[in-house]
Structure 1
Amino acid sequence: MNKPIILASRSPRRQELLRQAGIAYEVDPADIEEVMDPALPLDQRIMALAKAKASAVLARHPDRLVVGADSVVALDDRIMGKAQDRAQARQFLESLSGKVHQVVTGVAIMDAYSCETFCSASKVYFYPLSAREIDNYLDSQEWQDKAGAYAIQGLGCRFVEKIEGDYNNIVGLPVARLYRELMRF
């Protein structure tokens, strides 16, 4: 890990996870249109989007090591990105209530010579949620800019019965695995 790292994301959660892990980085958001190919399996879709983000930033910084990432919430065959508005956030939370879903994060690490991608999936078990709980949560505005319309590291923790897998992946970045992969560059 001799090259300076650029995080191709403006996510404050990803930035905080890197800080906590002691990984030095700079931020240069990719600002690309986030389009996934529905013909691909979910893990490949997520990794392709992470790779597209890293590639867009690498074009501006060819001498750097770039990390791109994207996360989605998957409930059965339904993919939940960031809710567009309060009504959609309500639909997401009502759908997740009392069920088990996955948080899937794709990561791409790229420099001018190589690209490594990987995917991390964690299971999240939600308690059944009342309409009042959902309304109170929506009033907090915390749902904004969050895949699945909740933040496990914030007030959304009240909804979670248990998890299986990497907690940091659910927050937004499987930082321990990322650290191990970065050591190979």
Structure 2
Amino acid sequence: MINNHKIILASKSPRRQELLRLMDLEFRIVLKEVDESYPADLNPEEIAVYIAEKKAKAFDENVTDEIVLTADTIVCIDNKILGKPENAEHAVEMLQLLSGRMHRVITGVCLFYKQQYHSFSDVSEVYFGELSDEEINSYVEKYKPFDKAGSYGIQERIGLIGIERINGSYTNVVGLPTEKLYQALAKL
């Protein structure tokens, strides 16, 4: 049933694209510019869903029989949201903050189908071991994680050597909770 749906992925994330491919889902990519600001009174889970829905609303009048899939992933530590780093120095600061601590990765997902919004979020707890300044600087220099919330990719070197454990979905930390996505698509 899921394969009968035509999916528009509204994301330039190569990680989300690869996860959909691994799920054997066919999709096409359509990108729209969206302001990712949000009201100050939202909690982190609400922020991720709010931005995902905002991205989906950019497609309101343009879609008839396809599912628009949008998502937004945020990293949260001590109720502070770590977005995408502005530069290498900012990336290093974020990774130093995450070193030796637990943080939450929250992904909001919105499926826009037949003029209705179907939204959900997923939360994973990620535990980093202590990272040396050399490990952090080397990672930032080589991988340039400037398109990643929290300045890291779990599937890259820093995740492979630094993450001690995860409570929750691995794919959520990558950027798309595939388990919940599959269940949501099956209900459409």
- The TM-score range, normalised by the shorter chain, is over 0.9
Partner Cα separation in structure 2 for residue 88 and residue 141 of structure 1: 14
Q: 1:181 is aligned with what amino acid?
A: A
1:62-73 to 2 correspondences below 5 Å: 62-73=64-75
Q: 2:172 is aligned with what amino acid?
A: N
1:78-93 to 2 correspondences below 5 Å: 78-93=80-95
Aligned to 2:166: 163
Q: 2:132 is aligned with what amino acid?
A: S
| RMSD, matched Cα | 1.2
Aligned to 1:109: 111
Deviation (angstroms), 1:31:
1.7
Query: Would you say the 8 A contact 1:142–1:151 is kept in 2?
Result: no
1:135 maps onto 2:119 in alignment: no
1:1-185 to 2 correspondences below 5 Å: 1=2, 2-157=4-159, 158-185=161-188
Unaligned residue ranges in structure 2 (runs of 5+): none
Superposed CA offset, 1:11-64 (max 9, x none): 100000000011111111232111122211211111011011112134332332
Partner Cα separation in structure 2 for residue 173 and residue 58 of structure 1: 22
Query: Would you say the 8 A contact 1:8–1:57 is kept in 2?
Result: no
Unaligned residue ranges in structure 1 (runs of 5+): none
Q: 2:40 is aligned with what amino acid?
A: P
- Decide which moves more: 53-62 or 146-155: 53-62
Query: Would you say the 8 A contact 2:88–2:144 is kept in 1?
Result: no
Identity %: 37
Query: Would you say the 8 A contact 2:85–2:150 is kept in 1?
Result: yes
Determine helix, strand or coil for the equivalent of 1:62. coil
Partner Cα separation in structure 1 for residue 18 and residue 60 of structure 2: 22
Give the TM-score, by structure 1 length.
0.95
Deviation (angstroms), 1:172:
0.4
